[in-house]
């Protein structure tokens, strides 16, 4: 078995799972939902194998170029989704979250992404690479959960205002789900993105903070979620305004992750 066959297989299972999730949403048959869940779990298991094979084939962490990164981010998002299903007992979000996962997988599969593994430059040869990237991306995956919940919140509350319901999702539940996802994502992002990032920068470059564009954008992302928490907890904002902050916060996280590499130059430009 090779990663290059396992990856498309993973993608296939995720596509099948989404098909069942959406069928369940539109036919309101719970059974289809459970089939979807099962397919995601099989896909996730194959994805784990793909990542392990990639690590063995390349000899280093499976997130050092854009293709690997996208695959790993998709993996984190599925993990966050499975955790969210277990912890929040809220399955209706999964269909929409899978759309994001599929977008990431499709981008990774596109011919634009060079797939061959290259050896690591000296600065990346560190176990901090594992800790820094994986914890940060898991944090961002929970931000993705909040992002999807917030978009659905805006749709659901608009429908409720018109006296309709939106595929039996209640806006109130979506709003609290978004907060609970941020409450998991924020500490993870702080630990992986800021704390481990500073520790590693200090080990590799001799300074914990260099105002490199990628560092600054992590800080900006962090500020957005600090705003989300404070407006909510201290000023009692809920609903629409909260949802918008969670949406913009995730866009900032995406920009930190992808945009900075392509659009701004700095120390981090090899990753």
Binding residues for ligand HEM (CB under 6 A) = 223, 226, 229-230, 233-234
Nearer to ligand HEM, 229 or 254 (CB): 229
Q: What is the Cα–Cα distance from 152 to 107, expressed in whole angstroms?
A: 23
Segment 196-225, which members bind other proteins (CB under 8 A)? 198-199, 202-209, 211, 213, 216-217, 219-220, 223-224
Task: Note whether 65 binds other proteins by CB under 8 A.
Answer: no
Between 24 and 64, CB nearer to other proteins: 64
For the four alpha carbons of 175, 160, 237 and 217, in that order, the dihedral sign comes to positive
Residues with Cβ within 8 Å of 265's Cβ and at least 6 positions away in sequence, in order, are 213
Q: Please give the Cα distance from 95 to 198 (Å, whole number).
A: 36
In the bound complex, what is the minimum distance in angstroms from residue 124's beta carbon to other proteins? 9
**CA-based nearest residue to 50, from 30, 25, 68:** 68
CA distance 4 to 192: 29
Q: Are 217 and 265 in contact (CB under 8 A)?
A: no
Residue 203: contacted member of ligand HEM, other proteins, none (CB under 5 to 8 Å, by partner type): other proteins
Q: Which residue is nearest to ligand HEM (CB)?
A: 226
Nearest approach, Cβ of residue 229 and ligand HEM (Å)? 5
Rounded Cα distance, 13 and 255, in Å:
28
3-state secondary structure of 166: strand
Distance between start and end Cα atoms, the chain: 27
- For the bound state, the minimum distance from the C-beta of residue 225 to ligand HEM, rounded and expressed in Å, comes to 8
Residue 211 binding result from ligand HEM, other proteins, none, given CB thresholds of 5 to 8 Å by partner type: other proteins
Helix axes 66-88, 3-27, angle to 10 degrees: 40
- Say which residue the tokens 């539940």 belong to: 173
User: How far is C-alpha 218 from the chain's CA centre?
Assistant: 15
Q: What is the DSSP letter of 109?
A: H
**If binding is defined by CB under 8 A, does position 87 make contact with other proteins?**
no
Counting every residue, how long is the chain? 271
Residue 113 touching other proteins (CB under 8 A): no
Stretch that binds other proteins, among 17-25, 36-44, 134-142, 195-203 (CB under 8 A): 195-203
Verify binding: residue 88, other proteins, rule CB under 8 A.
Answer: no
Instruction: Kindly state whether residue 248 participates in binding other proteins, applying the rule CB under 8 A.
Output: no
Among 12, 79, 83, 195, binds other proteins (CB under 8 A): 195
CA atoms within 13 A on the CB side of 177: 30
126 scored as a contact of other proteins (CB under 8 A) = yes
Q: What string marks each residue from 154 to 193 as x (binds other proteins by CB under 8 A) or -?
A: -----------------------------xx-xx--xx--
The contact set with other proteins (CB under 8 A) reads 118-119, 121-123, 125-126, 128, 183-184, 186-187, 190-191, 194-195, 198-199, 202-209, 211, 213, 216-217, 219-220, 223-224, 226-227, 230-231, 234-235, 260, 264-265
């Amino acid at each position: 078995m090779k990663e290059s066959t396992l990856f498309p297989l993973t993608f296939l299972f995720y596509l099948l799972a989404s098909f069942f999730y959406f069928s369940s949403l539109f036919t309101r048959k719970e059974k289809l939902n459970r089939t979807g869940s099962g397919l995601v779990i099989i896909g996730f298991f194959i994805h784990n194998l793909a990542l392990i094979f990639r690590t063995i084939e390349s000899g280093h962490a499976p997130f050092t170029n854009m293709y690997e990164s996208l695959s790993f981010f998709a993996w984190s998002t599925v993990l966050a989704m499975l955790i969210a299903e277990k912890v929040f007992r809220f399955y209706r979000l999964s269909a929409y979250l899978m759309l994001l996962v599929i977008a990431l997988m499709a981008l990774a599969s596109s011919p634009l992404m060079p797939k061959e593994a290259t050896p690591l430059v000296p600065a990346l040869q560190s176990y901090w690479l594992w800790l820094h990237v994986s914890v940060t991306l898991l944090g961002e995956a929970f931000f993705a959960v909040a992002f999807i919940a917030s978009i659905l919140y805006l749709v659901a509350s608009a429908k409720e205002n018109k006296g309709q319901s939106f595929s039996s999702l209640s806006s109130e539940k979506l709003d609290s789900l978004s907060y609970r996802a941020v409450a998991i994502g924020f500490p993870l992002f702080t630990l992986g993105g800021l704390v481990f990032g500073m520790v590693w920068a200090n080990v590799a470059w001799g300074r914990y903070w260099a105002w490199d564009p990628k560092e600054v954008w992590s800080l900006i992302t962090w500020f957005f979620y600090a705003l989300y928490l404070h407006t909510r907890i201290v000023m009692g904002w809920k609903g629409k305004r909260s949802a918008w902050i969670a949406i913009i916060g995730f866009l900032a996280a995406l920009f930190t992750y992808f945009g900075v590499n392509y659009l701004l130059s700095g120390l981090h430009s090899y990753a």
